[in-house]
Structure 1
């Protein structure tokens, strides 16, 4: 086993560990460990809410989830010799739930969760149609996930880190904050907000000195979106066997990661759409000197997908075009097209007895594939959602005998704001 350089004790909160991670991006957060090019090492990761979501039949924890506390990131890890302008090469060797802990109160101890976030607390891809909080608990058996809240479904997960990236330079951090503040200013009262500005409350900044904490907390970027450094990209195919090439913006690169997922559909459409878990990840790092200029990777990582995807071979695909639900034509709006494809898949699954919320949760958690199928034929772009048929315990295809009806009486927990 590679050397464990960032251990986590399941009995302690993230901020009470021997080594403290962080939940904001800032170039002045000191590294918690150092590695050399060619080193392989193991990192423990806490699920993104550090235990705030529970294995129960209530969605109140999703409704009230403390968004200012996320993400609980392991790191930063400095790589010897890495300098701005280099490319940091990261190989994912292995990852999974918390080892040797198949039961307990933390996600990753034999279970995980998917949540539909309410509009007033984060929202999701389809928040206009699904404004309230819902939750599904998933049990793990090897690589397979099943849920007491979504019957007649089981599937092999594609485990992956939802978030991994390098530290920004001061100039890059300033760019992020300026452009996101400008976006917020266009509609400052929007719910959910257009972006998340720096938030000192609940900031975790590793070993930043107390004399500098307030300043750094007021400048540090939230970890919610993906950015030029990688970050919260939520790419399900960054799994075992993946190789990622990250731009380096500070000395040492200062790699951080977390937000492990047992499984996820393309888009993580419910916002907490993956099956969230804590666990471990084994990595190997290398450095390509001057790689950003040599390979024209000035911003945003490039990667080689993993080679361990589930071998699903039959799919039922749903398409959508860029027309709103009330009939307004939009010009080549691929995001809208994907929303419509997802809504068509949800409508279809209700014919088998699933509630719309159960279907939405399933599309976030199962290894669906989302594709931009046509983006040039004005005025309609076309997006598609591919649903693997083998994840169902019944024949989900249309047929002359009519749709199978799932057992009734099981529902996904719901919580709404009063």
Structure 2
């Protein structure tokens, strides 16, 4: 096993650990460890809510999930010799759940969860159709996930970190805050909001000196969206065997990671659409000096996916175009066309006995393929959702016999917006 440079005690809260990570982006958050190019190391990661979501049959914890506290990230880790303008090469050597022998009832120790978030607490990709909170618990048996809340489904997880990235420079951080603040100003009362501004009260800034805390907390960016530094990209194929090339914006690069997923469909469409878990990740780092200019990687990471994807040979695909549910034509709106493809898939699965919410959770948790299939035929973009048929315990294909009817079981727990 590689040397562990960041340990988490499952019996303690994130802020009570010996080494404290962070939940905001800022160049002044001090590194918790320094590593050398060529080093191989292991990092423990807490699930993004630090144990606030529990293994039960209620969705009240999803309804009241403390979004101001996320994401609980491990790091930052400085890389010796990394300078602005370099590329940081990160190899994901292994990633997995918290070992079950560790103490504490945290997600990752044999189980994880998927949540549909309420509109007034984050929402989701289809929040207009699904405004309330729902939850599904998934049990892990080796690499296989099953759920008492979504019967008839069993599949191999594509385990990956939802979030990894380097620290922004002061200039890049200021750019983020301005452009996202300008967007918020166009509709400041929107629910869910257009973007998330800095929020100091719940900031966790590692071992930053207390004298600097208030200033940095007021500037530090939230971790919710992906940005130029990588961040919360939620790319399901960034799994074991992946090599990532991150732009470096500060001395040492200051790499951080977290938000591990046991599985996820393209888009993580329910907002907490992955199977969330705590766990470990093994990494190796290298530096390409001056790589940002040499390879034109001035913004956003590039990566080479690993080769551990579950092998599916048959898919059922659904398409959608950029026309609203009310029949309004939109011009090449790929966001809308992907929504429509997802809704078509949900309607189809509901014919087999699943509730619409169970079907929505399936699209979030199962490793579906989402594709932007057509962008040239005005006015309609075409997006597609590919569902692997092998994840179902029954034949999900259309036939003259009609859809097989499953027992929906206890269904997914719901908590309504108050």
Superposition TM-score, scaled by structure 1 size: 0.99
Maintained 8 Å contact 1:102/1:110: no
Q: What is the alpha-carbon distance in structure 1 between the residues aligned to residue 191 and residue 101 of structure 2? A: 39
**Which secondary structure does the structure 2 equivalent of 1:194 belong to?**
coil
Maintained 8 Å contact 1:103/1:111: no
Per the alignment, residue 216 of structure 1 pairs with 216
* Displacement after TM superposition at 1:384 (Å): 0.1
Per the alignment, residue 160 of structure 2 pairs with 160
Per the alignment, residue 308 of structure 1 pairs with 308
Residue 354 (structure 1) aligned with residue 354 (structure 2): yes
Superposition pairs for residues 88-237 of structure 1, below 5 Å? Answer: 88-101=88-101, 104-237=104-237
Per the alignment, residue 322 of structure 1 pairs with 322
CA RMSD of aligned residues (A): 0.8
Maintained 8 Å contact 2:355/2:408: no
**Which secondary structure does the structure 2 equivalent of 1:253 belong to?**
coil
Any idea what the Cα deviations from partners look like across 1:26-81, whole Å, max 9, x if unmatched?
00000000000000000000000000000000000000000000000000000000
* Displacement after TM superposition at 1:140 (Å): 0.1
Maintained 8 Å contact 1:111/1:140: yes
Maintained 8 Å contact 2:10/2:102: no
Per the alignment, residue 265 of structure 1 pairs with 265
Per the alignment, residue 12 of structure 1 pairs with 12
Q: What is the alpha-carbon distance in structure 2 between the residues aligned to residue 177 and residue 326 of structure 1? A: 35
Q: Which runs of 5+ in 1 are unaligned?
A: none
Q: What is the alpha-carbon distance in structure 1 between the residues aligned to residue 306 and residue 102 of structure 2? A: 25
Maintained 8 Å contact 2:354/2:406: yes
CA shift in 2, pair 1:3/1:142, >3 Å: same
Q: Structure 1: which 4+ aligned runs deviate by more than 6 Å?
A: none
* Displacement after TM superposition at 1:409 (Å): 3.8
CA shift in 2, pair 1:238/1:154, >3 Å: same
* Displacement after TM superposition at 1:105 (Å): 1.6
Q: What is the alpha-carbon distance in structure 2 between the residues aligned to residue 99 and residue 26 of structure 1? A: 31
Q: What is the alpha-carbon distance in structure 2 between the residues aligned to residue 366 and residue 285 of structure 1? A: 30
* Displacement after TM superposition at 1:102 (Å): 7.7
**Which secondary structure does the structure 2 equivalent of 1:181 belong to?**
helix
Q: Which runs of 5+ in 2 are unaligned?
A: none
* Displacement after TM superposition at 1:104 (Å): 4.6
Maintained 8 Å contact 1:101/1:110: no
Any idea what the Cα deviations from partners look like across 1:1-22, whole Å, max 9, x if unmatched?
1000000000000000010000
Maintained 8 Å contact 1:143/1:156: yes
Any idea what the Cα deviations from partners look like across 1:324-373, whole Å, max 9, x if unmatched?
00000000000100000000000000000000000001100000000000
**Which secondary structure does the structure 1 equivalent of 2:154 belong to?**
strand
**Which secondary structure does the structure 2 equivalent of 1:88 belong to?**
strand
**Which secondary structure does the structure 1 equivalent of 2:134 belong to?**
strand
Q: What is the alpha-carbon distance in structure 1 between the residues aligned to residue 199 and residue 278 of structure 2? A: 24
* Displacement after TM superposition at 1:417 (Å): 2.0
* Displacement after TM superposition at 1:201 (Å): 1.3
Residue-pair matches, total? 418
